[in-house]
Amino acid sequence: MRLSRLKSHIHVFSLVSVLAGVLLIVPFIATFTEAFGGDLSAWNHIREHLLYDTIINTIILVGFVALFSSAIGFYSAYVVERYSFKGRTFFKWGLMLPLALPSYIAAYVYADMLSYTGTVTRFLNGFGVNHGLNVMTLPGAIFIFTFTLFPYAYMLTRASIARQDASVLESATLLNAGPLRTLFKITLPLARPALVAGTFLVVLETLNDYGVVSYFNVRVFSFAIFDAWFRLGDTLAAIRLSYYLLGLVFILIMIERLLRGRRAYTSTSYRPIRRTTLSSHAKRWVPLSLSLIMALGFFIPVLQLLYYAWLTIAGGLSVEILYISLNAISIALVTTVITVAIALMIVNFNRGKASLFKRAILRLTTLGYAIPGAVIAIAVMLFFIDIDRFSAPYREGPTLFLTASLLMLGFAYVLRFMAIAFGSLESAYAKTGEKYTEVSYTLGRSRLYTLLFVDVPLIKGGLISAAIIVFIDIFKELPLTLILRPTNYDTLATMAHRYAREEMIQEASMPSLIMIAIASVLVYLLTHRVKKGRVENAR
Amino acid sequence: MKHLLMLLGILTLVFSLSACTFGVDSDSEENITVYTDRHYDTDRDLYDTFEEETGIKVNILSDDADRLINKLENEGEDTPADILVLADAGRLHRAKERDILQSVQSDTLNANIPENYRDVDSEWFGLTRRARVMVYHPDRVDESELSTYEALAGDEWEGRVVTRSSTNIYNQSLIASLIAINGEDETKSFIEGLVSNFARKPSGNDRDQAKAVMKGTGDVAILNTYYMGRMAYSSDEYERDVAETLEVYFPNQETTGTHVNVSGAGVAKHTDNQEGAVRFIEFLSSTQAQESYASANYEYPINPDVSAHELLQGWGTFTTQDLDLSELGVHSETAAIIMDESGWE
């Protein structure tokens, strides 16, 4: 085949891909070798007293978050795509808004609202309910993650349901299947791969979080890793724990593949589904339920933050927050461009057949996404220190050069979020197929030309979506940023964290709201495309 | 679209190149780099004053204490840091053990800071003080019922005590101090008794414990004095209510004294501006800076010539543990382990 013959040529794309692959692995090799040998006393202490609880808690957390977020994700996706009702267009993109609210911010805000002096408690007191609700528990964490992360499941499932062929559904109706039967026998199985993929993203985000679980004192792996590292002062144990976590992630990957199944569904013709109107009974509580979901995942915390911001604005706004916002935006923007560009080159290099290399890269990047930010940070920091020390004799200036710069942080971001860009581009390419690319090669165009002027316009939608999601994730990122940033440098996330950590929730509201505002605009852009001046909903 | 891509491409290139040098020290002016886990808006004003008086620019990297220690360790000889500022003597001791601080001889510091708030080898210096006290609701607890930390393990306190997680350094240091004074075995039985008296599984921060007492979940909480200060001056009316209603009690007045801890600073072992670093710490310990530095967080100043915030003065004077604060670090790991073993989550 044309493509495979071209593939055998050495090309800048292949070099970039291999280089990226190597750079992804090397930091982990550094930590891998450290994980064995050394003083085991702290590890034994952990193993004896804490490991069992950590594993159980993590499984419970992940299990329930997966269950609830997939349920909410599927329910909302199904209802929004298959039925028409008042406000449907708003809900369609509005249900994505919780993505703009970082989980750790939601955690601080809900904890505050449910504390003695909190809004919700006072509200309940008004009804004579004096028994408080404690959200800072494992169930509380499940709640927070479910409602701030379900959009990943929703997003992928909705896109999948939207593509389902009407003829399949019409056949079901002709064969006398009621709506419920159709739902469980047809819609759900067809959407299963997307639902599983989306829920998998939710699970990975949950595993990675440190802010929520540390604040709520929920002993899961990310917390245990930080705890071993800090409280027991043992980097070794921390690295060992992260390998346990990696093991868990591998198991999850297996489960995901199993659940996704190998079957592919195609139809010879394609007709988009027509939406049914809801019964008058359902007409009331469907929008209500969706509003509740959006309120819990977005509006309630945001309104609380707006109130706090209003309280603190009286004290004046500092110029500092402007610089910090610019920092956050600029680094997220640039790193997004680099991440998407590299992902594009790697995907392009391995088009067509499922190659071993491509699968290896996919596994590696998923690793980068699954491992807690702190561990990636250690690995990257050690890696760059080694580079700096190695190159120091050959250049002028201080020894720690790259390590003191923003480059290290940017590199870590790319490492961590490559998976998202990669996956998104893969599916975009899968949709368009190879024929246009092949035609371009047949006509004698170079690889670069084809990429820029044939492929990119074809997958433009997927590219933009990938870029937006990666940007939002980098923008919200906390643990990596805290550890690897240079002096005198803060992002909105670190600023909000700094205040929240000092329990100054009100002061944390300003940076949080700016983050949420910018992210919300991006979510809107993600779900609407501006086409020649008209704004239309993206499919 | 094409133009946008080109613009993005150029921006990326420019940014990436400049990112390589961002953050690297410029040699043009004298400066010091402070790794600190304490960062209040008012601190910036102090740094600016220091800059004006000495001409030395102050660079700040703020992060959690343990990450800073780890960073300094990894950076080794090449670290840009000159000063490390940490809350809690246990952490300062940990920094000393990891060999990232150096000994400093300064008459000014010795004069401004009492001996037991300085490291025995002069590797770190306390700059503010805080006490870990009991806070109770006067409607449910009479002051006469309270006496010592150790007494909280008694049966009469079952289901009435709240405090935060054992993973927090403040509790760890408190337990470390009890190990130093009472010995490991006695402290272990104390913890077991205390844990069985918890009104709920530890969760939240220090302020949440006070709020839990207010709500009625518990009757007495263990927390740091400065949180009461913060709540008293909070912009949230209900927090002010909590601070006004709950009472502060300084335990162990008749016995071994209330547990006191410090936040402090040390000079980095591989600093390239030792003189500037020492000057900075001397500045922070001086009467000029102490009042605002300590009051910013409602803490007690370390300099005996400086008076505390009026709220703190209102709580009266109290006897403190007669302890060299280095002990907090020495027993820190043991404390963490026996807290884990006794089920203090």
CA distance linking residue A409 with residue A484, whole number of Å: 5
**Crossing angle between the packed helical segments A103-113 and A300-313, to the nearest 10 degrees:** 80
Can you give the pTM of this predicted structure? 0.81
Q: Which two tokens stand for residue A99?
A: 């993505």
Least confident of A114-118, A329-333, A511-515: A114-118
Is the predicted pLDDT of residue A382 greater than 70, yes or no? Answer: yes
Q: How far is CA A345 from CA A14, A15, A231, in A?
A: 8, 10, 42
Rounded CA separation B145/B122 (Å): 41
CA pair distance A333, A359, nearest whole angstrom:
27
Domain assignments of chain A as residue spans, ordered by start: 39-264+286-303
Which of A58-62, A340-344, B76-80, B231-235 is modeled with the greatest confidence?
A58-62
Coil, helix or strand at residue A117? coil
Cα–Cα separations (whole angstroms), residue A370 to A213, A216, A399, B100: 16, 21, 32, 32
Does residue A185 surpass a pLDDT of 50? yes
Using pLDDT thresholds of 50, 70 and 90, give the confidence band for residue A109: very high
The predicted pLDDT at position A534 comes to 40
Asked whether residue B105 falls in the same domain as residue B230, the answer is no
Interatomic CA distance for residues B98 and B84, integer angstroms: 13
Asked if the model's pLDDT at residue A533 lies above 50, the reply is no
Q: What is the mean pLDDT of chain A?
A: 80
Relative orientation angle of helices B169-182 and B184-196, to the nearest 10 degrees = 130
Say how far apart CA A222 and CA A209 lie, in whole Å.
Answer: 7
- Write down the pLDDT at residue A535: 45
pLDDT in the model for residue B21: 55
Q: Considering only alpha carbons, which residue of chain B is nearest residue A338?
A: B12
Q: What is the dihedral of CA B154, B158, B160, B166, to 10 degrees?
A: 70
SS3 of A361-389: HHHHHHHHHHCCHHHHHHHHHHHHHHHHH
- Note whether residue B26 is domain-resident: no
Residues B300 and B157 in one domain: no
Q: Which residues of chain B have pLDDT under 70?
A: 1-2, 4-5, 16-28
Can you tell me whether residue A445 is helix, strand or coil? coil
Task: Please identify which residue in the block is written with the tokens 């067809």.
Answer: A190
Are B107 and B168 within one domain? Answer: no
The residue length of chain A stands at 539
pLDDT in tens, B13-36: 777 666 655 555 455 578 899 999
**What residues of B are in contact with residue A402 (Cβ under 8 Å)?**
20
Tell me which chain A residues have a C-beta less than 8 angstroms from the C-beta of B191: none
Does residue B226 share a domain with residue B152?
yes
Cβ atoms of residues B78 and B270 within 8 Å: yes
pLDDT-derived band of residue A204, with 50, 70 and 90 as boundaries? confident
Looking at the domain assignment, is residue B270 inside a domain? yes
CA-CA-CA-CA dihedral for A102, A58, B161, B129, to nearest 10? -60
Measured in angstroms, the CA of A190 and the nearest CA of chain B are apart by: 35
Listed residue (A209, A198, A208) closest to A103, CA to CA: A209
User: How many domains does chain B fold into?
Assistant: 2
- Are B20 and A232 an interchain contact pair (Cβ–Cβ within 8 Å)? no
- Identify from A124, A451, A488, A529 which residue to disrupt to test chain B contact, counting B C-beta atoms within 10 A and taking the largest count: A488
- Is a pLDDT exceeding 80 seen at residue A68? yes
For B121-161, the pLDDT digits (tens) are 999 999 999 999 999 999 999 999 999 999 999 999 999 99
> What's the confidence (pLDDT) of residue B64?
81
CA distance A200 to A260: 11
* Residue A248, CB-side half-sphere exposure with 13 Å CA sphere: 27
Beta-carbon contacts of B341 under 8 Å, excluding residues fewer than 6 positions away, are: A49, B188
The answer to whether A65 and A265 are in contact (CB under 8 A) is: no
Domain identity same for B110 and B186: no
Question: How far apart are alpha carbons A337 and A463 in whole angstroms?
Answer: 10
B252 found inside a domain:
yes
What distance in Å separates the CA atoms of residue B231 and residue B244, rounded to the nearest whole number?
A: 9
Angle at which helices A460-476 and A492-501 pack, to 10 degrees? 30
Can you tell me the ipTM of this complex?
0.72
Find the CB nearest A334 among B16, B227, B336.
B16
Distance, in angstroms, between A461 CA and closest chain B CA?
A: 12
Residues B237 and B287 in one domain: no
At B248, list the tokens: 């502060």
The Cα of B308 is separated from the nearest Cα of chain A by a number of Å equal to 21
Is pLDDT of A33 > 80? no
Query: B4: buried, middle or exposed (CB in 10 Å: 19+, 13-18, 0-12)?
Result: exposed
For the ranges A127-136, A371-380, B161-170, B256-265, the one whose mean pLDDT is highest: B256-265
Better pLDDT: A23 or B21 = A23
How far is Cα B126 from Cα B119, in angstroms, rounded to an integer?
8
Asked if residue B48 and residue B67 are part of one domain, the reply reads: yes
Residues B291 and B238 placed together within one structural domain of the fold: no
Looking at residue A9, its pLDDT comes to 47
Contact present, B228 and B135 (Cβ < 8 Å)? yes
Q: Position of tokens 């707006």?
A: A306
Of B11, B165, B217, the CB nearest to A132: B217
Mean pLDDT over A69-91 rounds to 91
The answer to whether A96 and A527 are in contact (CB under 8 A) is yes
Judge: B242–A117 Cβ closer than 8 Å, yes or no: yes
Residue A517 pLDDT level (bands cut at 50, 70, 90) = very high
- Are the Cβ atoms of A233 and B333 closer than 8 angstroms? yes
Are B70 and B141 contained in the same domain?
A: no
Distance from CA of A538 to the nearest CA of B (A): 18
- Residue A528, classed as helix, strand or coil, is strand
B126 CB-near residues (< 8 Å, 6+ apart): B89, B113, B117, B118, B262, B263, B264, B302, B325
In 10 A of CB A319, how many CB atoms? 7
HSE at residue B52, side-chain half, CA atoms within 13 A, is: 6
Instruction: Return the CATH number at B80.
Output: 3.40.190.10
Rounded CA separation A144/A41 (Å) = 35
Say if residues B34 and B58 touch (Cβ distance below 8 Å).
Answer: yes
Q: Where are the beta strands (DSSP E) in chain B?
A: 31-36, 57-62, 83-87, 101-102, 125-136, 161-162, 220-224, 247-249, 259-268, 300-301
Secondary structure element (H or E) that encloses residue A83, with its range: strand A83-84
The answer to whether residue B20 is domain-embedded is: no
For B242, the closest chain A residue by CA position comes to: A117
Report residue A519's pLDDT band, with 50, 70 and 90 as the boundaries: very high
- Nearest CB among A134, A334, A460 relative to B11 is that of A334
The per-residue DSSP string of A294-335 comes to: HIIIIIHHHHHHHHHHHHHHTT---THHHHHHHHHHHHHHHH
Residue B205 counted as domain residue? yes
Decide if B160 contacts B220 (C-beta within 8 A): yes
A242-248: Cβ within 8 A, 24+ apart = A242/A371, A242/A372, A242/A375, A243/A35, A244/A51, A244/A55, A245/A207, A245/A221, A245/A370, A245/A371, A245/A372, A246/A367, A246/A370, A246/A371, A248/A58, A248/A207, A248/A221
Residue A236: pLDDT above 50? yes
Tokens matching residue B79: 């670290």
A381/B74 Cβ within 8 A: yes
The whole domain housing B284 covers 31-129+261-306
What do you get for the CA distance between the two ends of chain B, in Å? 55
Average pLDDT over residues A293-310: 92
Cβ-based contacts of A372 with chain B (< 8 Å) = none
> Which residue in chain A is spatially nearest to B75 when comparing CA positions?
A385
Residue B223 confidence (pLDDT): 94
Asked if residue A308 has pLDDT above 50, the reply is yes
A526 Cα distance to chain centroid: 14
Return the ∠ at Cα A346 (arms to A460 and A434), rounded to 5°.
Answer: 55
pLDDT at A38 over 70: no
d(CA A254, CA A289): 33
pLDDT at A303: 94
Residue B43 lies in a domain: yes
Please give the average per-residue pLDDT across A352-368, as a whole number: 69
Q: Least CA distance to B39: which residue of chain A?
A: A498
For residue B198, the 8-state DSSP code is B
Identify whether the C-beta of residue A297 lies closer than 8 Å to the C-beta of residue A150.
Answer: yes
CB pairs under 8 A between A and B: 163
Identity of the highest mean pLDDT range in A220-234, A283-297, A451-465: A283-297
Q: Which class in CATH covers the domain with range A39-264+286-303?
A: mainly alpha
Q: Which residues of A touch B78 (CB under 8 A)?
A: 385, 388-389, 398-400, 403
Same domain, B227 and B155: yes
Say if B311 falls within a structural domain: no
Look at A400 and B336 and tell me if their CB atoms are within 8 Å.
no
* Residue A274 binned pLDDT confidence (cut-offs 50, 70, 90): confident
Decide if B297 contacts B40 (C-beta within 8 A): yes
Note whether B213 and B329 are same-domain residues. yes
